[in-house]
């Protein structure tokens, strides 16, 4: 027996993080925008059965390129999170459960996924998710170096260590934070979760962890209705069905002021779901496209004013219009110098 073999769960986790390849060096010739064509899911046409635009991520980048704010060559392409990477948060039994297609069908809410051989489900559904997880984890490193970074995918906030759900198969936010603790020497992280749904995954994972402050603004009338996880939210802001842009932004201003007084983070993880948009069948809120851009700007200003690195994840919101709205918001952030693109100082 080697005396240097890890003896506790924490050591095992730490060693997994330290030996991971996900934190590679990103040259300065790249922008803090993370995306891979592997993100986009196409699966024998069955993705059309789902109410989601499963190529949203690629379309966001395409809009940014067309608008001249992003050069394809400057996009950072992440690596796929390996099994060892995923074990930093997930249990072996949970990862094994994904080897049964029926379980993946339940998590993604696409019933036909259940009848396909698992090798196909792994390749066409879970692999894209694992690359997005690699993107979220890398985003924290890039944010520390550049001030902020956007993973054009990720934000799977319904998944925790031992359970997936609501289209979320891997707990990318929890993973990202654990990597930041070890690799970036950070000990206080604020999650600002502004997706329309409650972020019960990270809430369960950090339920008793004082290093993580969670501000969650969500519609209490919709999925996941996870009342136990609500107890773990540090600042709960409920925005019921029908909430308008004006009401929403006023509540956000107030929430950010409260968060500022309550916690002194070294990194902000911003879960920027666009299912708050008016017309989204799942989110049921009434926020305008301009309202989304103003929301994102407020969160970026919050972090920049305090010089705190910010990671943005696009999370939920899969209407056909979502990609355009997200791209327009990133263009606005670039115009206001809240994110630096194209090598400009
Ligand atoms: Zn959502």
CA of 39 to the centre of ligand 1 (A): 18
In angstroms, what is the span from residue 195 Cα to ligand 1's centroid? 5
Rounded to the nearest 10 degrees, the angle between the axes of helix 289-305 and helix 245-262 is 10
Give the Å distance between the CA of 28 and the centre of ligand 1. 33
- Alpha carbon distance 87, 95 (integer Å): 8
Q: At 285, give phi and psi (nearest 5°).
A: -105, 175
Q: In angstroms, what is the span from residue 29 Cα to ligand 1's centroid?
A: 33
Answer for the pair 58, 37: CB distance below 8 angstroms, yes or no.
Answer: yes
Catalytic residues: 158
Rounded CA-CA distance 110/92 in Å is 24
Q: Which of 22-36, 52-66, 175-189 has the lowest mean pLDDT?
A: 52-66
**Residues within 5 Å of ion ligand 1 by Cβ?**
195-197, 273, 275, 316
Q: What contacts 249, CB < 8 A, 6 or more positions away?
A: 291, 294, 295, 298
Q: Calculate how far, in angstroms, residue 159's C-alpha sits from the geometric centre of ligand 1.
A: 12
Residue 232, phi then psi, degrees to nearest 5: -90, 0
Structure confidence at residue 1 as a pLDDT band (50, 70, 90): very low
Global pTM value: 0.96
How remote is the CA of residue 12 from the centroid of ligand 1, in Å?
Answer: 33
Domain boundary assignment for the chain:
26-335
Q: What is the pLDDT of residues 29-57, one digit of tens each?
A: 999 999 999 999 887 666 666 667 888 99
The predicted-structure confidence for 131-142, as pLDDT tens digits, reads as follows 999 999 999 999
Q: Three-state DSSP class for 256?
A: helix
Q: What are 62-107's pLDDT values in tens digits? A: 999 999 999 999 999 999 999 999 999 999 999 999 999 999 999 9
Rounded Cα distance between 254 and 323, Å, is: 28
Separation of 227 CA from ligand 1 center, angstroms? 16
Cis-peptide, bond into residue 224, ω within 30° of zero = yes
Per CATH, the number for 26-335 is 3.40.800.20
- Predicted local distance difference test score (pLDDT) of residue 318: 85
């Amino acid at each position: 027996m080697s005396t240097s073999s890890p003896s506790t769960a924490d050591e095992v986790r730490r060693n997994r993080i330290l030996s991971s390849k996900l934190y590679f060096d990103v040259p300065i010739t790249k922008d803090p925008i993370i995306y891979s064509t592997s993100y986009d899911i196409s699966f024998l046409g069955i993705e059309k059965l789902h109410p989601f635009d499963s190529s949203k991520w690629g379309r966001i980048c395409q809009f940014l390129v067309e608008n001249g704010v992003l050069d394809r060559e400057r996009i950072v392409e992440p690596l796929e999170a390996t099994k060892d990477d995923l074990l930093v948060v997930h249990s072996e039994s949970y990862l094994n459960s994904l080897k049964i297609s029926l379980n993946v069908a339940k998590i993604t809410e696409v019933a036909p996924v259940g009848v396909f051989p698992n090798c196909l489900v792994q390749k066409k559904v879970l692999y894209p998710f694992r690359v997005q997880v690699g993107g979220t984890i890398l985003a924290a490193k890039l944010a520390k170096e550049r001030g902020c970074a956007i993973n054009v995918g990720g934000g799977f906030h319904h998944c925790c260590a031992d359970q997936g759900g609501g289209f979320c198969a891997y707990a990318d936010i929890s993973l990202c934070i654990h990597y930041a603790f070890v690799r970036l020497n950070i000990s206080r992280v604020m999650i600002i979760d502004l997706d329309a749904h409650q972020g019960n995954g990270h809430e369960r994972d950090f339920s008793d962890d004082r290093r993580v402050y969670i501000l969650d603004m969500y519609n209490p009338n919709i999925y996941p209705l996870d009342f136990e996880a609500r107890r773990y939210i540090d600042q709960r802001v409920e925005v019921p069905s029908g909430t308008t842009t004006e009401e929403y932004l006023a509540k956000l201003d107030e929430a950010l002021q409260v968060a500022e007084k309550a916690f002194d983070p070294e990194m902000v993880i911003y879960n920027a779901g666009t299912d708050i948009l008016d017309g989204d069948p799942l989110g049921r809120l009434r926020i305008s496209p301009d309202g989304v851009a103003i929301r994102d700007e407020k969160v970026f200003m919050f972090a920049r004013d305090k010089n705190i690195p910010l990671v943005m994840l696009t999370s939920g919101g899969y209407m056909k219009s979502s990609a355009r709205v997200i791209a327009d918001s990133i263009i606005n952030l670039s115009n206001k110098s809240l994110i630096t693109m194209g090598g400009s100082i």
